[in-house]
Structure 1
Amino acid sequence: MTFIHISETDLNDLHICCALGAKQYSAAIDAKKAWLSDRMKEGLVFYRLDDRAKVFIEYLPVEAAWAPIHAPNYMFINCLWVSGRHQGGGHATHLLDRCKEDAISRGMDGIVHIAGSKKFPFLSDPRFLKHMGFNVVDKVAPYFQLYAHKFHERGVQPTFKTNKPLPVKEHGIDIFYTAQCPFASGLISDLEAVALAKGIPFHTYEITSREEAQKAPSPWTTFSIFYNGTFQTHRMMSVTKFEDFLENISTRGTEV
């Protein structure tokens, strides 16, 4: 199979893998395409399998990344995704090699990516990252880890930023998200209805700029759930799973 590089001019004509065939996410997909278009002006690359499948990579220079990371002259991977029947076919390695070749050609010092202390949904598998030459260079509680693949020793040591974060509500559910993922923004109204039906205060904060992303209360700016001011999870979940989450939230601690 072949891979293609989707440019800004291709966005309206080609699918972007996320939320394939899900009509309820059409507005969120349009928002994702607008987000991608703006990021492509800043150097983002969207490279995917030439097939209607979720096999793709998004990356851009850290200086333009929507994540609280200090890693000048590094490439940041927004998303590395291989799903379904295409898993195990070497596609993730190909996608990562493409990113590495691009970063080297730009004279960069390495690549950084956010994952977890173990394999979590919606985050890359840390075992694969280590296999591909990445090492953990920084950590943020409860489980986020910053992985770096340094091309040489001249580059700086990447770190998470410790800026004063955006405020989190002290009562109820607080969700921070961006338009980067259609599932994240597409879920909000359904989750709100569930919380309000249970009498739980529900607040959302859409991060709409890189400057806001640098102050996000969680390093995973795509989607993060807080309860009574405490981080709970980065997992995007269905209505049914969110109902279960709310039922158990008083007895369950932060996801680890």
Structure 2
Amino acid sequence: MVEVVDITPENIKEKGFFCMRSKPKSQGYQNKLSWLLNRFDEGLKLKIIEVDGQPKGFIEYIPIEYAWRAVQGENYLLIHCLWIVGRGKGNGYGSILLNECIEEARRLNKSGVALVTSSQTWLADKHFFVKHGFKSIDQAPPSFELLVMKFDDQADPKFSHGWDERIQNYRDGITIFRSDQCPYIDDAVKTIIEVASERNIPIRVIEYENSEDARYAPSANGIFNVIYNGKLLTYHPINKRELYKLLDQA
């Protein structure tokens, strides 16, 4: 049986939030749990799709006014994450979850649904959403696109451009901008700190406390960005080998 489960403050400790569900005692998991509990009152929705009681994927979305992406807009829902894993792919589960979001946006009289995609990694690829009627309305370096499904003539959302100007403020060593929206960020930050220490690279970590901070991040992915000597090094968690390679190429 296929079932979509709404995650709430009342059932989140029982159901979890899908990511890192095998490591509920880890710092990243606990950070994300606290982050979610602070977001539900802002209208955040988290839905997990289960098959015979086994989780296969999830969708997380929030009113765009509270979105943790470098996006500006009014009266849209913005999808943070849509993820189907392993053998769950190819069964229509992603479409079920996406339709849940679209139908809720209509019930709430929103002007549409938006999300940030990337042709690289970590964020969703746009092709699935284009097949469901989304259109690309804005681009940002290095590989981001802002997609939207519109229901009315409300103004389009847009990226918070000005990336180069913001990045240039961080030209000395490594600067990490981080949040707790993704539970994998905690381990990623530890990895970067270790490598910086090994290479004697100055490093500092800047914590995003709210969605307004994320709205003016150094890249469109507001929740995690790594700047090295005034250039965007990565916007997603990477392992040590990948980090060494990026530093050598910078």
Verify the 8 A CA contact 1:168 1:174 in the aligned structure 2.
no
Alignment size in residue pairs: 245
- Cα distance between partner residues in 2 of 1:124 and 1:196: 32
**TM-aligned CA distance change 1:54 to 1:202, over 3 Å:** farther
- Cα distance between partner residues in 2 of 1:49 and 1:5: 9
- Cα distance between partner residues in 2 of 1:169 and 1:143: 21
| Alignment counterpart, residue 77 of structure 1, candidates 61, 79, 103 | 79
- Cα distance between partner residues in 2 of 1:191 and 1:142: 21
Which residue number corresponds to residue 235 of structure 1?
236
Which residue number corresponds to residue 64 of structure 1?
66
Listed one character per residue, the Cα deviations across residues 27-75 of structure 1 (whole Å, up to 9, x for unaligned) are: 1111101111111111000001235545100001111112232221110
Q: CA deviation at 1:166?
A: 7.8
Q: CA deviation at 1:19?
A: 1.7
Structure 2 unaligned spans of 5+: none
Which residue number corresponds to residue 157 of structure 2?
158
Which residue number corresponds to residue 125 of structure 1?
125
Which residue number corresponds to residue 145 of structure 2?
145
- Cα distance between partner residues in 1 of 2:126 and 2:211: 26
| Alignment counterpart, residue 111 of structure 1, candidates 98, 107, 113 | 113
Q: CA deviation at 1:161?
A: 2.2
TM-score (norm: length of structure 1): 0.89
Q: CA deviation at 1:223?
A: 1.6
Verify the 8 A CA contact 2:139 2:146 in the aligned structure 1.
yes
- Cα distance between partner residues in 2 of 1:227 and 1:54: 36
Share of identical aligned residues, percent?
29
TM-score (norm: length of structure 2): 0.91
Q: Secondary structure at the match of 1:182?
A: coil
- Cα distance between partner residues in 1 of 2:218 and 2:112: 26
Q: Secondary structure at the match of 1:2?
A: strand
Q: CA deviation at 1:187?
A: 2.1
Listed one character per residue, the Cα deviations across residues 174-225 of structure 1 (whole Å, up to 9, x for unaligned) are: 2212101110123212220112101222222121112211221212012222
Matched, 1:225 2:237: no
Verify the 8 A CA contact 1:55 1:81 in the aligned structure 2.
yes
Letter in 2 for 1:159: K
Letter in 2 for 1:135: K
Q: CA deviation at 1:156?
A: 0.9
Letter in 1 for 2:191: D
Letter in 2 for 1:38: N
Q: CA deviation at 1:232?
A: 2.5
Map 1:30-41; keep pairs closer than 5 Å. Answer: 30-41=30-41
Q: Secondary structure at the match of 2:26?
A: helix
Higher mean alpha-carbon deviation, 167-176 vs 123-132, is at: 167-176
Verify the 8 A CA contact 1:17 1:52 in the aligned structure 2.
no
- Cα distance between partner residues in 1 of 2:135 and 2:205: 33
Listed one character per residue, the Cα deviations across residues 61-96 of structure 1 (whole Å, up to 9, x for unaligned) are: 111112232221110001111111111111111110
Letter in 1 for 2:113: I
RMSD: 1.9
Map 1:189-208; keep pairs closer than 5 Å. Answer: 189-208=190-209
Q: CA deviation at 1:169?
A: 2.0
Verify the 8 A CA contact 1:70 1:161 in the aligned structure 2.
yes
Structure 1 unaligned spans of 5+: 251-256
- Cα distance between partner residues in 2 of 1:172 and 1:20: 34
